[in-house]
Amino acid sequence: MQLDHYATLGRSGLRVSPLCLGGMTFGLERGWGSSVEESKQIIDRYLHRNGNFIDTANSYNLGHSEKIIGDHITNDRSKRDRIVVATKFSANLYDGDPNGGGGNRKSIIAACEQSLRRLQTDYIDLYWMHWWDKFTPIEETMAAIDSLVTSGKVRYIGFSNTPGWKIAQAQVTASFLKQTPLIALQIEYSLLERTVEGELLPLAEEFGLGVTPWSPLRGGILSGKYTRDNLAESKPGRGDLMKSRIDERTFTILDRLQEFAASNDTTVARVALAWLRSRPTVSSIIIGARTMEQLEENLASLEVELPADDIAALDDLTRPRLSYPINILSTGRLTGYGGLTINGESFPESPLGRPTSDKVY
């Protein structure tokens, strides 16, 4: 696969690259990331490889990520119209201002105007709700975003970091009121975070939403740079935070990834990204790159096609424990489907066994 093997995002005609360039590392305001010059070089390399999808947020490095993108590409209309630029609202950049963030109409419209100014563009291709605001009715949020689409300031919309039941409510509300529907979800998804397979991924499939995973390498853990031997060493940037998320199960998964990387003549990070790319609901994976070397490593994952046996082994190794009611449905379905084949799927006998009598009371 190549970076210019585009896919439509969800139930829309918007074409995006299989890897999306994430802009969270653009700028140094958080004490880690890429300088302005490094960020520009990373963007140029991604575009040179025919990538067309760049994702940022109003909160990334206090808005500097948006400004770097705006200064470098979106102020040039000949470049801007060929690129899918996504950004997000919800974060509050103004201490003490109760309406500085969230999902209310005042906050959303102000955040959009500020992002347009920093990005130096008159429209945003894909506008994400960064996280669900429980204090604002979803009807108000959807109406506010719809007004931005109607005014031409936004083309498409999506949600991130939101419970499945709230996403469903938003989509049904938009349909009922003939407002702009969501086309995609941005969710954390990787070999180390698969609980989204319980409800969010089936929801995306049911509603025709594209899925754009963030943190596909779990903050670098799945890059293979952490080992049992070096875990105690201090790591730059977010390294110490990531180390707190590593346990023996993580190293067991990394050990197997090393085996698959060796057998496929590639690297751990590329295997982890190739596995994620194989998931049927995934449209475009958001990759972060603090350095040019990291970008090249992530892009090289497109050259990896894992054998079906390797994918199945990774599936089994990392299968998540899902919460109720998902965890009981596999057993409960056997009481209705046990011993049958439906739509090509065969079900074993019910664990309750066959009745000893044909009599039904």
Judge whether residue 117 has pLDDT over 70. yes
Quote the mean pLDDT of the chain.
94
What is the pLDDT, as a whole number, of residue 239?
A: 67
pLDDT in tens, 152-165: 999 999 999 999 99
Q: Which helix (H) or strand (E) holds 243?
A: helix 239-243
pLDDT in tens, 210-269: 999 999 999 999 998 888 888 877 666 666 777 788 999 999 999 999 999 999 999 999
Residues 342-360, mean pLDDT to the nearest whole number: 83
What is the pLDDT, as a whole number, of residue 227?
A: 86
Residues 320-345, mean pLDDT to the nearest whole number: 89
- Sort residue 215 into left (φ over 0), alpha (ψ -120 to 50) or beta: left
Task: Using pLDDT thresholds of 50, 70 and 90, give the confidence band for residue 336.
Answer: confident
pTM: 0.94
**Sole residue written with tokens 């005042």:** 106
- The closest of 91, 56, 89 to 71, measured between CA atoms, is 56
Query: 87, 124 in Cβ contact below 8 A?
Result: yes
Residue burial 122-143, b: 16+ Cβ < 10 Å; e: rest = ebbbbbbbbbbbeebebeebbb
**Sole residue written with tokens 């319980």:** 198
pLDDT in tens, 259-304: 999 999 999 999 999 999 999 999 999 999 999 999 999 999 999 9
Task: Using pLDDT thresholds of 50, 70 and 90, give the confidence band for residue 172.
Answer: very high
CA atoms of 286 and 93, how far apart (whole Å): 23
What is the pLDDT, as a whole number, of residue 316?
A: 97
Task: Using pLDDT thresholds of 50, 70 and 90, give the confidence band for residue 78.
Answer: confident
- Token readout for 232 is 């105690």
Q: Which residues pair with 211 in a beta bridge?
A: 185, 282
Judge whether residue 335 has pLDDT over 90. no
SS3 7: strand
SS3 128: strand
What is the pLDDT, as a whole number, of residue 235?
A: 64
- Token readout for 290 is 């603090």
Looking at 10-14, 50-54, 345-349, which range is the least confident one?
A: 345-349
Q: Residue 76's Cα: distance from chain center in Å?
A: 28
Mode of pairing for the β-strands spanning 182-186 and 19-22? unpaired
Residue 223 backbone phi and psi in degrees, to 5? -85, -15
- Token readout for 121 is 């563009």
Burial class (CB within 10 angstroms; exposed 0-12, middle 13-18, buried 19+) of 247: exposed
CA atoms of 182 and 169, how far apart (whole Å): 11
Task: Using pLDDT thresholds of 50, 70 and 90, give the confidence band for residue 353.
Answer: confident
**Sole residue written with tokens 């096609």:** 305
**Residues assigned a catalytic role:** 60
- The closest of 185, 186, 182 to 174, measured between CA atoms, is 182
